[in-house]
Structure 1
Amino acid sequence: MQTSVPHHSSAPPGKKTPFTRFLDTVEWLGNLLPHPVTLFAILCVAIFVASGIAGYFGLSVMDPRPEGAPGRAVDGIIAVKSLMNAEGLQLIVTSMVKNFTGFAPLGTVLVAMMGVAVAEYSGLLSTVMRSLVMSASPRLVTMTIVFASIVSNTASELGYVVLIPLAAMIFHSLGRHPLAGLAAAFAGVSGGYSANLLLGTVDPLLSGITQSAAQMIDPSYQVGPEANWFFMAASTFVVTILGTLVTEKIVEPKLGKYDSSMASDDFEPEKAQAVTDLERRGMRNAGLAALAVSALLALTIVPEWGVLRHPVTGEVAGSPFLKGIVAMILVFFAVPGFVYGRTVGTMKTDRDVIDAMAKSISTLGMYIVLVFFAAQFVALFKWTNFGQVIAVGGADALQAIGLTGPALFFGFILICGIINLTLGSASAQWAVTAPIFVPMLMLVGYAPETIQAAYRIGDSVTNLITPMMSYFGLILAVATKYKKDLGIGTLIATMLPYSLVFLVGWSLFFFIWVFGLGLPVGPGSATYYPMTP
């Protein structure tokens, strides 16, 4: 999970070329934003005041949903409800704890993180990534690095801390420009942030926010963590190909031949640590454990008599298996992780597993604080009916200008990418924008799962060119080892081709997948709302 790290500045930096002026403006605007926690607190106050004003003037819209539809206003009119009265104040003080503990992403992220933590702290994920990258042939090393970097976002910090420095070292050892290797890994980890073959912690995080937003229109609507699995798994290969092409055809030729005199004065070339025989044995045992877990899970869902199929329909859609996918993530990562740890000696008892889980939860302290304020914002936004009023108004505006077809998603993706330049946290940005865009696009006729998939593209592609991204400083530090005078502008200029190609290529793939081929973005996920062809 990515969080923004705000800086502080009183004015835009000096202006030079149009490109540096753009970068300076982005950084300056980002610096003006408060910490995401403070931002949500400000938004809560803003809703409190705005609801009082809107309620006083009787701001309302006609409910576009047909009679009998779930959540439709009784009298057919959606009016903003004021918080600046006795009822509103009572609601705030009595619902504060419930808003926090009932916030959908909170529990699912904590549970999923505990499972991933066992695999991460035992060393399994790091070893698998190193083995995958270092065993690749020189001709395929770029593609392997991008692919491994994308997959690494299952454990958010792994790619930034392990793979990006490793990729630079490998390129350097092969006589290639180390910054090209760094750029390829950065593109995979951050530019392909949402794509993955497996469900990770970002999936329940976003789906919980999407579900809360969708329930403004349909109180019974459910969005599971697997909602975008098909599309994101396929996107892994698309982003891998795009990242490889950009690295080898644009970035590496532009960087030219590496001159070691550009390195920092205290730089000493490091050699990538090879995977040991013990680690290979650990991976083998972990792989066997993963197969055993997969087989047991398959028995609950694949056969017609599977106990985790839907108890009424017998289908996979809406089954306890999909509703409990977070529990499956916990088991799938924890068991192989512990087996690996036992083999290599990093985990010996249940206490080591408990410590790994505890460490992972301790690193989420800032996220938990963020969730508290985000949950209040989402709850107040929903209770006051602001979300529905804005959604209806926005949907009416889109219909008035005739922008209701699939092409509107290109604009939506671009808007999300621009917002991401100054608000680099995936969870913070979606918590702010989902209550507006999800209901609005639902009223135009699109399902929340499809809307969320489009958002994930916009949220990912501009991570590479915003200094507000929390790991940007770490990547800059690694880069300056190989080129001592490298600055923020140079790093962003290096990554800009990835952002542009990912934005265009991934958006086109989304359009072809969803509207060209008519494929669902995930198991049981609808493309349209209501369920229309």
Structure 2
Amino acid sequence: MTATSTAPVTRTDRLLAGVERAGNKLPDPFILFLGLFLLVGLVSTLLQLAGTSVTIPGDDESRAVRGLFTAQGLTWFTTSLGENFIGFPPLQTVLTILLAVTVAERTGFLGAGIRLLLGSAPRWALPYAVGVVGVTSSVMADACMIVVPPLAAMVFKAAGRHPMAGLIGGFAAAGAGYSTSLLVTSLDALFAGITNSVTATLPAAGATVTPVSNYYFNVASSLVLAVLAGFLIDRVIEPRMVRQDVPTEELPEDDDTPATSSDADTAAALRSAQPMEATLTGRERRGLLAAALVTAVLAVLMAVVALVPGSPWRNAEGGFLPESPLLDSVVFIVFALFLAPGLVYGFVSGSLRTSADVPRVMGQGIKDMASFVVLAFMLGQFIALFNWTNVGSVLAVNGARGLEAVGLVGFPAILGFMVLCSLLNLFIVSGSSMWTLVGAVFVPMFALLGFEPGFVQAAFRVGDSATQVITPMNPYVFVLLMMVKRYEPDAGLGTVIARMLPFVVPFWLAWAAVLALFYFTGLDVGPGVGIRIP
């Protein structure tokens, strides 16, 4: 069954159509960075022929630009191709953490925890529970935008509230708040790896960025956005659904309905988004209890090891900041805190039956990340070329001088950076791709202005998430549309975007306000990571 809309085309419709057309012209991220790699190679060669060099403040010697398409450049590239790829920092951290997170997700541990949290919330608190779960659910990576919305809809309906409010609110909280979480996630490791790969050549790069370098900022942001999401769901979205008389019952599926998108990834996502039971079975509850006990024991053991005098996790001065083996062990800690409870839950609940199931489940996670590994090959080459040629240093120094010349050196410069990232996010929804692109220029630039790379990374998070729920470039927007069509067959992309818009600006402003609080009070955004480089 298809429906034809007779509503007139509005300015908003034309604007969104223009955004979609422009975004569709962007190539695949791999091809995009291949093109950028060749562009940097050409520019660096021309700059070397022009005798360009740059002196970074704090560095005694000037750095000459080195061209890729020269004898020296081609020798560097042919001898370092594999090292550029394997040495790309996110591979080491993301793939390691992914092995554990996959176990926690595929055994049902994370999904059961979400259902327990939402199902146990009182009726009035449901919107705020959805907010908390949504902004924290990025621990499941992109799966959060498939798992959280339908679960929120089911729990809302069971409580006598409008299921569409739960569906929309769950997607908004998970998508618009994707770059923050109450927990340390693989995204933290990914961003940290990219940041460190950029700062490797800076003479004064500030504190080393780790997966917990934005943790204080993330916790504060998560709490603020969770409350805000709950408020918007309760006071804006649900009343509007009632006023518009949006159906509260799913309609029977029509096999003849044409698909909105032919994208294979979207189709797979839709297949995995089938309804789940909102209540937990007895085995699932026993599995969660056992997993919680294991997590508590493991956390206590780690705390004891870290706090005892003479702990091997302490630095030479007996502390933990600014650097220590404890901070260097974050990947191991996150790995253990996901793997152990995931395994216990799996065997107690029955989702894991034999020890042979464990590597099989881990392998599924690596299989799902195959596209990232391929993209990481190109990202690693791009970052390595940017650093080796010194083109990044030239852009950073001249950009910093330009900002100083116009007086844009404080928080206004950070705000401008966040606005730029928000606009780019309409076209480049991959956080790793965009951070690789903008981080290569802005991390060194802001470092020259005295900002810690970890703080710049925190600012990037604001621009990386808030607008991705309204762009047609996000395939999960179409997944949400299919979920909405179960209630409203005539719904279109405009329906989804219109319901997402009430979250975008408030989220951006609230998130920016949290960053401003850290900036003007001088609070650390994470362990050992302040605002300014000492």
Equivalent residue for 1:33? 26
Cα distance in structure 1, aligned partners of 2:276 and 2:76: 60
Asked if structure 1 preserves the Cα contact closer than 8 Å seen for 2:320 and 2:327, the reply is no
What does residue 503 of structure 2 align with? 498
Does 1:214 find its partner at 2:199? yes
Q: Which of 31, 37, 43 is 2:36 aligned to?
A: 43
- For 1:244, the equivalent position in structure 2 comes to 230
Change (3 A) 1:29 1:290: same
Is the 1:341–1:347 Cα contact (8 Å) retained in structure 2?
A: yes
Question: Which of 152, 164, 168 lines up with 2:149 in the alignment?
Answer: 164
1: distance between equivalents of 2:439 and 2:421?
10
Q: Using the TM superposition, give the Cα deviation of residue 457 of structure 1 relative to its aligned residue in structure 2, in angstroms.
A: 0.9
Corresponding residue pairs, total: 508
Match of residue 229 from structure 1: 215
Greater shift in the superposed pair: 43-52 or 439-448: 43-52
SS at match of 1:235: helix
Counterparts of 2:117 and 2:249, CA distance in 1: 29
Contact 2:119 2:279 in 1 (8 A): yes
Alignment partner of 2:532 out of 525, 528, 533 = 528
Q: Please say if 1:328 is aligned against 2:343.
A: no
CA distance in 2, matches of 1:413, 1:157: 22
SS in 2 for 1:88: helix
Shift in Å, 1:15: 10
CA contact (8 A) 2:246 2:488 kept: no
* Residue pairs, 1:353-364, within 5 angstroms: 353-364=358-369
**Alpha-carbon distance between aligned partners in 1 of 2:248 and 2:506, rounded to the nearest angstrom:** 32
CA contact (8 A) 2:139 2:184 kept: yes
Distance of aligned partners of 1:475 and 1:261 in 2 relative to their CA distance in 1, 3 Å threshold: closer
Deviation at 1:332, TM superposition (A): 0.7
State, as a whole percentage, how many aligned pairs show the same letter: 35
SS in structure 2 of the partner of residue 421 of structure 1: coil
8 Å CA contact 1:387, 1:436 repeated in 2: yes
1:308-347 to structure 2, matched below 5 A, reads: 308-347=313-352
Bigger Cα displacement from structure 2, 175-184 vs 362-371: 175-184
1:64 positional shift: 4.0
Tell me what 1:179 maps to: 164
- Larger deviation: 404-413 or 432-441? 404-413
8 Å Cα contact 2:163/2:248 also seen in 1: no
Alpha-carbon spacing, 1:15–1:422, altered in 2? closer, same or farther (3 Å): farther
What secondary structure is seen at the aligned counterpart in 1 of 2:426? helix
The unaligned stretches of length 5 or more in structure 2 are: 1-6, 255-273
Q: Is structure 2 residue 370 aligned with structure 1 residue 365?
A: yes
Using the size of structure 1 for normalisation, the TM-score is 0.91
Mapped partners of 1:35, 1:154: distance in 2: 25
Task: Report what 2:419 is aligned to.
Answer: 414
Cα deviation code 1:461-488 (max 9, x no counterpart): 0111111123222111111111111111
Partner of 1:5: none
1:260 equivalenced with 2:247 (yes/no): yes
Equivalence map 1:453-464=2 (5 Å): 453-464=458-469
Partner of 1:87: 72
CA distance in 1, matches of 2:50, 2:93: 40
Q: Closer, same or farther in 2 for the Cα pair 1:304/1:519, shift >3 Å?
A: farther
Aligned-residue offset at 1:54: 1.8
In structure 1, the gaps of 5 or more residues are 1-13, 67-71
TM-score under structure 2 length normalisation = 0.91
Letter in 2 for 1:125: L
Q: Does 1:444 align with 2:449?
A: yes
User: Post-superposition shift, 1:157?
Assistant: 3.6
Asked whether the 8 Å contact 1:216–1:387 carries over to 2, the reply is no
**What's the CA shift for 1:18?**
2.8
- For 2:313 and 2:298, locate their aligned partners in 1 and report how far apart those are by CA, in whole Å: 15
CA spacing shift, 1:494–1:261, aligned 2, 3 Å: closer
Q: What is the letter of the counterpart of residue 155 of structure 1?
A: M
Contact kept? 2:164, 2:248, Cα under 8 Å:
no
Measure, in 2, the Cα distance between the counterparts of 1:427 and 1:355: 27
Q: Letter of the 2:227 partner, please give it.
A: I
Q: Tell me how far apart the structure 2 counterparts of residues 87 and 347 of structure 1 sit (CA, whole Å).
A: 54
Q: Deviation string for 1:225-259 (max 9, x for gaps)?
A: 11101110121110101111222222222232544
Q: Report the Cα offset of residue 24 of structure 1.
A: 1.7
User: Any idea what SS the aligned residue of 1:139 has?
Assistant: helix
Q: What is the DSSP-based 3-state SS (H/G/I as helix, E as strand, rest coil) of the residue aligned with 1:125? A: helix
Asked whether 1:111 is paired with 2:111, we answer no
Taking the aligned partners of 1:516 and 1:399, their CA distance within structure 2 comes to: 20
- Aligned equivalents of 1:129, 1:493: Cα separation in 2: 27
SS in 1 for 2:63: strand
Alpha-carbon distance, 1:438 to partner: 0.4
SS in structure 1 of the partner of residue 123 of structure 2: coil
CA apart distance, 1:293: 0.7
Residue matched to 2:4: none
Pairing partner for 1:352 from 349, 354, 357: 357
> Per-residue CA shift, 1:354-381, capped at 9, x if unaligned?
1111111111100000000000001001
